[in-house]
């Protein structure tokens, strides 16, 4: 593989005026080091995506872009959310870049891991996940909920790398693969493993937010988690089927019990038929619902129009090309 590939670092920003000057300074230094040691192309850039900020974020990006050749930006017309900001950055950068790194604006993720990511990229690895090796800087609540969330996701059969956020390097072909996923409800950290290709992890310690406040309040976090579960799994629908089966089983047992009681002549009039029908009908209704649910689940996976395969190597076409 030829060296000096073009790197674009994508930084989503929502009301980040407090951290931007420092972020630009530190990230620029990393880029300069990489350019000077001939590890990346001199055209490599920092791409700041302003996600409809209400403060001076965009003015800052514009000003810095005049004095600092590394700084570029795109601006959203309104707030579309973190995941869409990342996607827009990738869509814009992929045409010119050989590798793309996404990182939050608040410097919580250790930017020194970028050197290791780039080195691994040159070893031929397509996706390099930044994984935090501690969560000491998170609140106990965030740590517990994150742990429970990753546990639940893996039980639901969704393959995500625990403790990896949206800090990662992706090669051009992996980014193009990711962009061919046409779904609207984005949960990038679940989608990236689906792209496949060789991958590796780089560990780092997560720091406190450098300045400003978290842009992910509890409400946004819950929505994000629910999006993750419902965009990736139809297991909740299957749970309804199982519940329906259990209730029908209970219904049958109660039916037999009620008949026995009736034969013994120890019941009030009407009790037997009420008992038996209530549970049976309840169970049958649940099963019917889940059958409909199964079809909705199928429609749900169809409308996403995810690519059905991604070819890593193709000797057939290569032979025609030479």
Which residues bind to ligand UDP, rule: CB under 6 A?
A: 12-14, 16, 51, 79, 81-82, 85, 104-106, 108, 214-216
Q: Closer to Mg ion at the Cβ: 104 or 110?
A: 104
Which of 99-107, 110-118, 234-242, 251-259 is the region at the interface with Mg ion (rule: CB under 5 A)? 99-107
Q: Closer to ligand UDP at the Cβ: 108 or 199?
A: 108
> Judged by CB under 5 A, does residue 83 bind Mg ion?
no
The interface partner of residue 275, options being Mg ion, ligand UDP, none and the CB cut-off 5 to 8 Å by kind, is none
Q: What single-letter DSSP state applies at residue 107?
A: S
Q: What is the smallest separation between the CB atom of 81 and ligand UDP, expressed in angstroms? A: 5
> Judged by CB under 5 A, does residue 166 bind Mg ion?
no
Side-chain-facing half-sphere of 62: CA atoms under 13 Å: 5
Q: Closer to ligand UDP at the Cβ: 167 or 279?
A: 167
Distance in Å from the first CA to the final CA of the chain: 18
Q: What is the smallest separation between the CB atom of 54 and ligand UDP, expressed in angstroms? A: 11
Q: What is the smallest separation between the CB atom of 104 and Mg ion, expressed in angstroms? A: 5
Binders in 30-69 for Mg ion, by CB under 5 A = none
> Judged by CB under 5 A, does residue 108 bind Mg ion?
yes
> Judged by CB under 5 A, does residue 15 bind Mg ion?
no
Which positions ≥6 away from 296 have C-beta within 8 Å?
A: 237
Contact 160, 236 (CB under 8 A): no
Contact 83, 188 (CB under 8 A): yes
Please tell me the distance from the alpha carbon of residue 160 to that of residue 171, in angstroms, as a whole number.
Answer: 19
Cα dist from 96 to 8, 34, 92, 256, 268, whole Å: 9, 18, 8, 72, 80
Q: Closer to ligand UDP at the Cβ: 77 or 317?
A: 77
Please tell me the distance from the alpha carbon of residue 71 to that of residue 73, in angstroms, as a whole number.
Answer: 7
> Judged by CB under 5 A, does residue 272 bind Mg ion?
no
Which positions ≥6 away from 25 have C-beta within 8 Å?
A: none
> Judged by CB under 5 A, does residue 233 bind Mg ion?
no
The interface partner of residue 172, options being ligand UDP, Mg ion, none and the CB cut-off 5 to 8 Å by kind, is none
Q: Which uninterrupted H or E stretch holds 45?
A: strand 45-50
Q: ∠ CA(199), CA(179), CA(142), 5° rounding?
A: 65
Please tell me the distance from the alpha carbon of residue 54 to that of residue 62, in angstroms, as a whole number.
Answer: 15
> Judged by CB under 5 A, does residue 106 bind Mg ion?
yes
The interface partner of residue 255, options being Mg ion, ligand UDP, none and the CB cut-off 5 to 8 Å by kind, is none
Interacting residue ranges for Mg ion, rule: CB under 5 A:
104, 106, 108
């Amino acid at each position: 593989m030829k060296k000096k590939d073009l790197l674009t670092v994508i930084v989503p920003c929502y009301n980040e005026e407090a951290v931007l000057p420092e972020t630009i300074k530190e990230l620029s230094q990393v880029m300069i080091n990489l350019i000077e040691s001939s590890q990346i192309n001199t055209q490599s850039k920092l791409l700041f995506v302003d996600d409809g900020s209400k403060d001076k974020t965009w003015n800052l990006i514009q000003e810095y872009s005049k004095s600092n050749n590394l700084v570029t930006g795109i601006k959203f017309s309104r707030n579309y959310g973190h995941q869409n900001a990342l996607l827009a950055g990738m869509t814009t950068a992929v045409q010119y870049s050989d590798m793309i790194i996404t990182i939050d604006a608040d410097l919580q993720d250790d930017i020194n891991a970028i050197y290791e990511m780039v080195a691994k990229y040159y070893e031929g690895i397509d996706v390099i996940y930044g994984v935090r090796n501690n969560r000491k800087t998170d609140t106990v609540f965030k740590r517990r909920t994150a742990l429970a969330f990753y546990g639940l996701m893996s039980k639901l059969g969704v393959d995500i790398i625990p403790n990896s956020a949206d800090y990662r390097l992706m090669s051009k072909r992996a980014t193009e693969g990711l962009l061919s996923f046409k779904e609207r409800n984005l949960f990038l950290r679940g989608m990236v493993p689906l792209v496949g290709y060789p991958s590796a992890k780089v560990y780092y310690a997560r720091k406190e937010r450098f300045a400003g406040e978290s842009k992910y309040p509890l409400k946004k976090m819950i929505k994000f988690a629910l999006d993750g579960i419902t965009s990736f799994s139809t297991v909740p629908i299957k749970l309804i089927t199982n519940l329906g089966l259990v209730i029908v089983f209970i219904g049958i047992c109660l039916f037999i019990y009620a008949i026995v009681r009736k034969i013994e002549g120890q019941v009030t009039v009407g009790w037997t038929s009420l008992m038996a029908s209530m549970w049976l009908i309840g169970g049958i209704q649940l099963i019917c619902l889940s059958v409909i649910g199964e079809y909705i689940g199928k429609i749900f996976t169809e409308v996403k129009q995810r690519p059905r395969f991604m070819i890593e190597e193709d000797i057939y076409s290569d032979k025609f090309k030479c």
